[in-house]
Structure formats: C-alpha cells, structure tokens
Structure 1
Amino acid sequence: LECFFVFFVQFDLKNLTFVRGFGEKGRDISFETKNVVYRFTFYHDAIKMIQKKPFLGWGGGGWAARYFSFQSHTYYTKFPHSFFLNTLIETGIIGLAFLLLFLFYSLRIYIIHSYQDQSLSITHFLGVGVFFIFLHSSIDLNFAMGAYQIFAWTLLALLLSSISLQKIKLSIPLIIPLLFSLLFFVVSIFWGNAEYYYQLGNEYRANNDLVHSAQAWETAIRLNPWHDGALYQMSNLSSDIYLQTKKDEFLQLAMEKNQKALAIEPFNYEYLRQKADLFLLKGELNEAWNNYRFSMELAPMVLGNYEKILFAFLNFINSQNKTMDPSTINQIKVYTEAVYHLYFENQSKSTQPNPPSEALNFLKRDIDKLIGGGNAVNSMTEN
C-alpha cells in the first residue's frame, strides 16, 4: 500500500496534474461560470431521465444513449458530470442504494479503524484521499475516464485490505479472481484492436479509400460483433456504393448493417435517420417518415438532424422529380413542412432557443422551389 501511494505521489508531483487541477478549479469557483451553468443543466435533464425510469434505470450507457431526448437545449456530452447521478440513471434507485451502502460501509470501517489506530500513517491520508475522490466525482466527470475509475476503486480496495477485518471471513479461491482477470485481459485485447481498426477505417474513408475502409470496419466487427459504430459506417458505405452503382445488393447490405447497429443501439437518432434514408432510397415514403419522426423525437434539439433530413428529401426529389405522381409530391410537401415546423416547435421548449440555420432555410426554400410548398394537408403528419 505504501509503495502504491509513493508511486502516485511521485508521478503526480512530476506532472503537477493533481495540484494544478485544484488550483485552476479554485480560481473558477462561481455559480455564474459557464461550467457550473452547464452542470446544472445536465443535472436537471438527468433528473428528468430518472423520473421516467426511477427503479431499474436505463441500463449501462443510458445517459449517452438517451440524453438527447431530455435536453433542455442543445449540448453534447457523454456523461452527466456526476458519478452518482449517472449510476442512478443506469441502475435506478436499487443500484444507487447498493453503491451507497457499500461506500457507507467502507467509510464506517475506515472511521472505526482510525479511532482504534491513533498513529499517523499513510492509511489515514489514503482514506481522506479516497473520500474526496468519490466526493468530487459527484460533481465532475472524472469517473467517465476508465483509468481514473480503476485507480479510485483500486485505491479503495488497497485501503480496505490494509485494515484488519476480523468479523468478515471470505474464502475465495485464488483461481477465481485470476480467471476473471485473464478474461478481462483477453476481452480488452479484442475490443481494443476492434477500436483501432474502426478508427483506421474512418481514416481510410476520409481519404476516399473505400476498399481498405470496408476491410478495416469488417475486421472491427469480427473482433467485436457489438461494435455498432463499425456497423453504422459499413451501412453508410454500402448505401454510398449503391448510389454509385444502383445495384440492389448494396442497398440490401446497407439495410442489414443498419438493422444490426440498431439492434445494439435502438435509440440512436443517427442510426434511425440512416434507416429512414435507406427507406427513402427504396421509395417507401411512409416508412422513411416514421423513422425520421422517431429520430427527431429522440434528438429534438439537434439542428443538424433536421438539416440532414431535409437534405435527404431534397436529394430524393432531384432523383425522382420527373416520375413523381401528385400524391407523392403532396406527401413530401407535408413531411418537409413538418420537419421545418417541428424544429421551431422544439426550439420553443428550449431554455436557449436558436433560430433556424441558413442551411435549414436554404434547404426548405430549394424544396419549395422544386415542388411548391405550404398547400399540403397537415393531418398526414399524424400517420
């Protein structure tokens, strides 16, 4: 335990990260700073999520998957800046109760030990350090970093292991933790390599190297079959190839990859918008609209989502304009009007409303020029 503590202190003093971090935050303490205001927004939206599923929560990664649906205004963050709120979101009241019970029990053991051992030892300093780490995690995203979280729990485990627990007798064969460690090591190798190939595929795609990007993403999927990002990118790539070749097998492949990505992340608004894009390519307007509408419901404050939906309709019009019948034109009028008005409607609920972007206005204007606008029957949006 002492060696672990000395290593941390030497490492930190060398880099001054711990001391410098506290100094910077100390100068920035105010309820009016941007960071604090945003935190209150995150907490407010987190509470709205918790109210929907208070007992069992939303599951692992619940905040990142669903926070767009509960936003008070547009922002992007994969963690609500509170370890305890995040635990409450993911596991509900039951999960948080178990966590707090464990932490309270650990604190109780430490306090009893401190009263019994009045000597000044490293254990006391570590106890205070662990306490402040978990306290600080209640208002920050430090536990979102895997290495930091491993460090915190390891520190707590070392602290408890240094305290004699005579009343607790646990007999766990050494082979069990060794097997778990080995399993974790093997899985981390596969998943780590999968992420490497995923990023490699993104680089190839940025350079318009379709063959190597497809190979890299397929490798990522083989290493981690639940890599929804790689599946999503493969679907995008397949649809792009379909647009170039007009071969139906690529459109079918795009649908299959998209379905697999949605099976892993069913509430991802981008995956749903992609699904709608694919239905639009197939000419199935009603199915496309149902998925577009669901996508907008999942991310009501994300301006880019509305822009991309209108852009997809504009591309569809340009590709079908000479062959569209009046009923199809009327449908598109209804849907594009609905997209535009939904943006205003959702922004009216925002605590920081934003006007439509120039891109959104231009897209709507171009669509109206091609097919006319404003005369559609709005009741169709309820279908």
Structure 2
Amino acid sequence: MNRQPSPPKYIKKEESDVSLLKWAAILMAAIFFLIYTFKAGLFNGYDFGFEKKLIGASIYSLVFVLIMAAHLFKVWNTNSWKAILSIAVWLLPISYAISSIGAASENTANIMTMVSCLLAAFFVFGLYYNDTRYTRVALETILFLTSYVLVWFGVINLFGQYWYPDALWFQLDTYRMTSVFQYPNTYAALLIAVLLAAAYYTTHAKKRIWMSIHAFMLVPVFVSFMLTYSRAALVVIPLAVLLTMPFLKVTKQLMYVLHLFVTVIVSFAVLGIIESKSISIAKQVLRFNERGSQIPPEKLMPLFSSEALTGWGALLGASVVALLLILALNRWVEPWLEAKLDRFSERKISYLAAPIAMISLAIIGAAVVLSSATARGWLPSNLADRLENISFKQHSVLERGTFYENAITLVADYPLFGAGGGGWQALYQKYQTNPYTSNQTHSYIFQVLVETGWIGLLLQIGFFALVYWLFVRTWIRHPEKRGSQLIYFIFSISILLHSFLDFDMSYISIAAIVFFSLGSMIGVYDKELSLPKLTLKNPKLKRIYPAVLSVVIIITGVFAYRFYASYNQFDKARAMAQQQASIDQIFPVLDKAISLSPSNTQYYLVKADWLSQVYGQTQNAEYLEQAKKILQEAQLKEPYERQIVQAVNNNLLLAGNTAEAITALEDAQINFPWDITLYEMRIKQLADLGLNEKNAGSGDFEGRWNRAAEIYQDILNRMDKLKELPKEQLQGRRFDVSTSVRQAMAQIDYHSGRYAEAAEMLKPSLSEALVPKDQSEQAITEAATSRSAIRYYLAAIEKLGQSDQVLKEKLFQADSNEEALFKKLVAS
C-alpha cells in the first residue's frame, strides 16, 4: 500500500514470486484476519461458550501452517537470526505445554497450548513471508484492509444502519464503540495502531492515491477512537507516538505530528455533532432484554434519516477537509521544512528534538484540559466526564491494582511454570481480597505470569526484547532498507503497550496481529540478519526445522480435531434431548463427546444433570450414584470449578446426605472465600439439619447450630473488612447478610427459644417480595425464602405476645399454604 523509493542500484532487484503454496498461505492469512476477526475478535473468555470457535480457528490455522511449512523447506536456513527466532518462538507454546501438567484447569490449559501454537505460527509467517516486494505489499494490504473494514463496520453500527451485538456498548448511560470486539478498550488499542500507522503512510507514501486513502481514513479512525471513551488508551497513545518518532527523520517527524494535529483539530470540530446524533440513533435502535443484554432491533435507522445523514455528513465532510489540509501541508509546508532543516537533520540529536518538544506540549495540553473547566467545556460532555475522572484513585485503576496484587499472591504458589492456561480464571476467587468478578487479570504481563510462571514470563519478555533489539539495530545499521516495515513496529508496540493495562491479547485475532507484526518487522531483512558461522555443512539438515514443525502441527491438529468433534457430539446430544429422545439414545452420543475430550468438564456436568432429572422421574437411586461418580471424575479435571461444587451439593442433597453435602461445601469454601452463596448454603443446610436432628432426638444439633453461628460471624467480619476498601473502589459481587441467611439464623434462634433475637434478625427482610416476579427458578426460590422469613417473624412476635395482622394477611394471600404452616410453627 505504501510505495517506497526505488532501492539503490547495489540492491539486487527482486524477482517475481509466483509460488502457489506461498500465495495460498497468504490468502489463508487474509481469510483469517478478515473473517475470523468478525467472530467477536476470537475472544478467549476462558468459558465453554468461547471454546468451539477458538478450536475451529486453531484447526484452520494449523492447515495454514502446514502450507507455510512447505515454503519453509525452500527458504529456511540456520545461518540467520531468523532461524534462531523461528525456533525461539516455539518456546512460548512449550512453556504453556509444561504449565498444563498439573494445571488448575486441564481443559483451558490444553486450549491455550493450541492457541499459543497459532500465535507462534503467525510470527513465523511474518518472518518468512515478507521476503519480496509483492508479498510485502500483499501483507500490508491485508493488515490495513482488515483494520479499515473494522473501522467502517463500527461506524455503520454507530449510525444505526447495521446491528452487531454490543458494537455499541451501553455502560453507565454512555454508548461506547467496540466494533466487533464487544469491548471498547481493546478496540481503542487497535485504533491507536491503525491511526499511527495510517499517519505514517500519509507522511511517507510516494503515490498521491495511497497517501490520500490513508489521509482520508485518519478522521474516521480518530473519531472512533474518541468514542470508545477509553481512558487507558488516551494515556497510551502519546507513548506510542513517542516510541515511533525516533525512527523518522526530523522533517518527517514534524510532518507526522502536523498530520496528527490536523486530524485531532478537524475531528474535534465534528465530534460533538457525531456524538449527539449517535446517541439519539442508539436510543431509537438498540433494545435490551430483562437481563440487560442487547437483542436484535425492531428496525434499523434508515440511511436517509436526518440523524444518520447528519452523522455521516459530518464524518465524511471532516475526512475530506482533513485530506485537503494534509495535501496542502505536503505540497507547500514539507518542502519548506526540508530546506530549513536540511543541515540540522544531519545531527544525531535531530531525531530526539521533535519527541522532546512533543512531550512538553503533551504535558502542557494535558494540564490545561485536566485542570481547566473551560477547556473541558469545548469537548463533548461524555468525553469531558471521562477525562475529568482520569485519576490513580479512579475505580478501574484501583481494581486493576487489586488484580495485580492478587496475581502475585497466586503466583507465589505456582512460581516456576504457573497454573496453566486459564489459571487466573480457575483460581482468582481463592486469592482475591474482595468479591470482584473478573476472568481476566486485565494485564497481559500478569496473565502470562499466572499461566506460565516466572519462567514463561521471562521467556516471553526475552523473546520480545530480542525481536525489538534486532529491529532497532538493523534499522540503524541499514538505512537503505528502511521502509514501511515500521508500520509493523507501530502495530505491535501500540497494542502491547495497551495490553499491559488490559486484556487485549485475550482476543486471539488481536494477538495474531501482534505476533504477525513482530515477525514482519524483521521479515524484510535477509542478509542483514545473517550469521555465517551457523551455516550447516550438510544442506539437507536445513530441512529438519520445517519437517519437525510439520510433525508437531499434525499431532496438534489431531488433538484439535478431537476437541472440535467432541463439541459436535455434544451439540448433537443436546439437540436429541430437546427432541425428547430416550437416555439410551442420548448417552452414547454424550459419552462419545467425553471420550473425545475427557478434560472438558462441561460434558460431565450435563450428564450428571440429566441423570439427576431421570432420578427425579424414576426415583431409582442408581442414577444418583452414577451422577456422583461422574462428578467425582469432573473434580479431578477441574478441582476449582464452581459449577461442579454446586452440582455435587445438589447430588448429595437429593441422596439425603445433608451432612456430607455440608462437609463438601466446607471444603469448597477454602477456594471461594468471597462467594456469599456458599455461606448461605452452608448456614441454611446446617440450620435445617440441626432442626431435623433436634426433632428426631438424635445427633448433635447444637453443634450444627453453633457452626452456623460461626459462619454468620465470618460473614460479618468480612463485611467489616470490605469497609476498608478505598471509597472509589467498587466492592464487586454482593457480600452481605441476605434474607436466606437471616431466615436460617432466625430459625435457629426461634427453635432455641430466643424469640426476640429471631424477630430482630428478620426485621430487615420484612419488605421482601412474597410472590415470584417471574417463573424462573431463582425468583420462585427467593419468594419462598421471603415467605419463610415472614412466617418465622410473625411466629416469633406471637410468642412474645405481639401481632402484625396486616403482614399476616399479606403472607396468607401470597400463598394459600402459609396459614397452615404458620399455625404449625407457632404450635411447635
């Protein structure tokens, strides 16, 4: 896309490369970036719902790698830094493979090993496929075509002509752009890279057509970036600019800054209009269900509606204005700067002059915007609010600090090779210091540290450092080869900088761009990276690497295929269950899924659930015993899976083993110290079991109730600990004394003759709904708990010689059985 000057005469003219295998691999890479990115960026949420598409992408990529390996038989050799890097990159999947031994989550560890192979392959692809001008142009075009398609896709969602789930992310009364990623911060990270790389092309492209295309895109990219409202991205973008500028000559540095300055000024001129129109459109188009999730709109916004036309007109008009201004700068200002700075540009310090000036201006500008209400008044209201809240005491900053501290504590128990892929998701609740919910550490550094330990993290840092060192060294030593490979540096460094503060690299398509860019940065160099001393005497030995790579990929492909086949079998079993097929028909299919992927506990959970349902229909205890054994197998695979804890508890309660169920919950609570539902379940089961033992005249009912009181006190102690959190930091999940806990503790007080204590315990729950708000199991359970609490309250005050007739009638009207239950309770 960017046409560079003709190379010096001593550089050998490149020959046309028409290798079908080579271009087939390039085509497959293009399909990966253009198609798979639209699958929510291939987000790895460490959850069953994300797995199938990740494995599908891995299988596709493995085929792509096999084709790539055929090309490596031709070009791979040992006498180059490329060879060393192509081998070193596989240390990263190896670190994941080692960490999967004894991993906290066997299934996600296996998946992450496959994903890391995919990323390593993209690095090797970039390393060896940028070897001719034609392939370089093709690969740059793929990267920018993907980026620009994502930008325009985000814009058509912004103006309501298309709907993609959460392309506009509604949060705290603000609509934030996400494009396909469904998370605005990651989209902002990509937009930083696209903006700075497009500005580079605008500054360096020799043909006006290419320069004009990129210049035209600057405003849509920057407007999209601002409408993500990402505060971390606003901090990262000046750092990315500063790291890019030393690679440019002083005149180009100034033009680069001028192009960005024009983009910012023109964009802010229309940003308020675009923001207001997009909000108006979103309020008309977007719909949400009762859970707050987006659902398909009833109708989209017509293109020729006033709101859409105004938004499109402002955006496209600003893009044209920016293009014309940039053309004028390139036509008249750049030659003047070159003439004035010709002598100064020969000095080494010239490369640092513009960055130093920019740092000064950035500091001054930030100070003005953050300290001046007048300056913020020039900005759109939502953006001004986000800027005003930038602070180290802001809740997202404090929460990330907590994640990182908890990650360090976790790693202390898994120091060398980590807890395996998905280790944070499996273990964070054991180590958390307050009840937040986050399957991501919100930092690539800490995610890698948790998953692969200090050895894996040092391998990644060392690998990245080596790649960047080779790029910088070669860029300095060989100015004749300088060119558009700098865009790969921009892409990789921009995304990596932001990923230190967020989970961008959990989007596999984003991570693939980073690794592809790392390889492509130095893929344009050949003899410049040569190491003659490593030349093999036997040329046939150079085939070892591509041969081994092919074998590894084939073996990995077999495992990936088994994973994918297991998902298909599981989907088939669920479809059969919906069609009311018999268990004799369903279970062989489900068992096939388990045999294909024995580490996937979701299959075990579903089978145990179906066995429990069959038990409910037949009362045959053999089905419960089968479910128990299956859940025991699942616990061996996923000892920290919360769903398994719930399933085991349900199984034991159905079997009448309440004491054993309580013991299992006690063991599980160690791994979930901030899970309030486990506290509620333990207290409730201890209260009920103690009452049964008291009525039966056997067992240690007082010991059960004393234990319930200890657990209740533990809740109170932890609630006091939460009060120590900074006022700006969100607590996370609910952790309080619920109606369920109050009812259970009041039940104990009541049957112990402490009627005043029982009534006092239940007073905060008197306003709870007694009738289910809907027919969901949760709503029905909550209403039943509330009725039980009111029943015990009324019985307790009656024992004290008091009465609340209004509340009593309300209870009896809520459920016809309540009057008999109340009389029985009072009589007891």
Q: Counterparts of 1:289-304 in structure 2 under 5 Å?
A: 289-304=662-677
The answer on 1:46 being equivalent to 2:373 is no
Match of 1:166 in 2: 530
Q: Which whole-Å CA distance do the structure 2 matches of 1:372 and 1:252 have between them?
A: 39
Give the Cα–Cα distance (whole angstroms) in 2 for the partners of residues 232 and 188 of structure 1: 22
Corresponding position of 1:236 = 609
Gap regions ≥5 residues in structure 1: 376-383
Letter of the 1:14 counterpart: V
Contact 1:48–1:70 (Cα < 8 Å) also in 2: yes
Match of 1:156 in 2: 518
- What displacement does 1:334 show? 4.0
Alpha-carbon displacement from aligned partner over 1:292-350 (angstroms, at most 9, x marks no partner) = 112112111122333344566678789x6798443154454345434433333333333
Superimposed CA distance per residue, residues 34-64 of structure 1 (whole angstroms, 9 cap, x where no aligned partner): 4333322212221221233333432332211
Cα distance in 2, alignment partners of residues 206 and 312 from structure 1: 33
CA distance in 2, matches of 1:205, 1:277: 21
Distance 1:71 1:156, change over 3 A: same
> Which stretch of structure 1 is more off in the superposition, 218-227 or 281-290?
281-290
1:207-235 superposed Cα distances (whole Å, 9 cap, x missing partner) = 99885876664443233111112212322
CA distance in structure 2 between the partners assigned to 1:38 and 1:252 by the alignment: 43
Q: Paired residue for 1:356, among 737, 752, 760? A: 737
Q: For the Cα contact (< 8 Å) 2:475–2:482, is it kept in 1?
A: no
Residues 305 and 217 (structure 1 numbering): CA distance in 2 closer, same or farther, change over 3 Å? farther
Aligned with 2:484 (options 122, 125, 131)? 122
* 1:88 and 1:96 in contact (8 A); partners too: yes
Deviations 1:62-94 (A, max 9, x none): 211110011122222211011111111122222
Structure 2 residue corresponding to 1:188, chosen from 560, 564, 567: 560
Q: Summarize the Cα distance change of 1:360–1:203 in structure 2 as closer, same or farther, 3 Å threshold.
A: farther
| Alpha-carbon distance in structure 2 between the residues aligned to 1:219 and 1:322 | 48
Partners in 2 of 1:145 and 1:370 — Cα distance? Answer: 55
Q: How many residues align?
A: 374
Quote how far apart the aligned CAs of 1:127 are. 1.9
CA contact (8 A) 1:57 1:88 kept: yes
Displacement of 1:355 in angstroms is 2.2
Cα gap change, 1:239 to 1:147, in 2 (>3 Å): same
Aligned to 2:443: 82
CA contact (8 A) 1:268 1:298 kept: no
TM-score (norm. length: structure 2): 0.40
- Equivalent position amino acid for 2:593 in 1: A
Counterpart residue number, 1:5 = 140
1:342 aligned to 2:477? no
Q: How does 1:243-258 map onto structure 2 within 5 Å?
A: 243-258=616-631
Unaligned runs of 5+ in 2: 1-129, 131-135, 152-178, 180-189, 192-220, 235-382, 537-541, 726-730, 758-828
1:214-265 CA distances to partner (integer Å, 9 max, x unpaired)? Answer: 6664443233111112212322332343344332211211111111111111
Specify which of 57, 73, 77 is matched with residue 434 of structure 2: 73
Letter in 2 for 1:290: T
> Whole-Å Cα distance in 2 between the matches of residues 311 and 267 of structure 1?
23
SS at match of 1:293: helix
Q: 2:465 aligns with which of 71, 88, 104?
A: 104
SS, match of residue 57 in structure 1: coil
Quickly say closer, same or farther: Cα 1:173–1:96, change in 2 above 3 A: closer
Which structure exhibits the higher relative contact order, with contacts defined as CA atoms closer than 8 Å and separated by 6 or more residues?
2
Q: Distance between the aligned counterparts of 1:163 and 1:372, measured in 2?
A: 85
- For the residues of structure 2 that align with 1:4 and 1:72, how far apart are their CA atoms? 46
Q: 2:641 aligns with which of 247, 268, 284?
A: 268
Deviations 1:181-216 (A, max 9, x none): 333334333323434555676788799988587666
Question: Which shows bigger deviation, 291-300 or 353-362?
Answer: 353-362
Equivalents in 2 of 1:199, 1:286: separation in Å?
A: 36
Note if contact 1:133-1:152 (Cα within 8 Å) is conserved in structure 2.
Answer: yes
CA contact (8 A) 1:310 1:339 kept: yes
Q: Are 2:684 and 2:740, in contact at CA under 8 Å, matched by a contact in 1?
A: no
Distance change in 2, residues 1:56/1:120 (3 Å): closer
Using the alignment, how far apart are the partners of 2:745 and 2:395 within structure 1?
34
- The 1:56–1:348 alpha-carbon spacing in structure 2 relative to 1, beyond 3 Å, is farther
C-alpha displacement of 1:283: 4.7
Q: Relative to structure 2, which stretch is displaced further, 190-199 or 263-272?
A: 190-199
Distance, in Å, in 2 between the alignment partners of 1:83 and 1:354 is 29
Q: Take 1:76 and 1:148, find their aligned partners in 2: how far apart are those partners?
A: 24
Contact 1:235/1:255 (<8 A) preserved: yes
Q: Helix, strand or coil: the match of 1:122?
A: coil
Q: 1:91 to 1:14 in 2, by over 3 A?
A: closer
> 3-state SS of the aligned residue for 1:174?
helix
Please point out which of 308, 326, 334 is paired with 2:698: 326
Q: Distance in 1 between matches of 2:562 and 2:417?
A: 30
Structure 1 CA distance for aligned equivalents of residues 490 and 418 of structure 2: 31
**Equivalent residue letter for 1:333:** W
User: Which structure's CA Rg is the greater one?
Assistant: 2
Q: Please, what TM-score do these two structures have when normalized by structure 1?
A: 0.81
Q: Is the 8 A contact 2:658 2:685 kept in 1?
A: no
Match for residue 95 of structure 1? Answer: 456
Offset of residue 366 of structure 1 = 5.3
After alignment, is 141-150 or 5-14 more displaced? 141-150
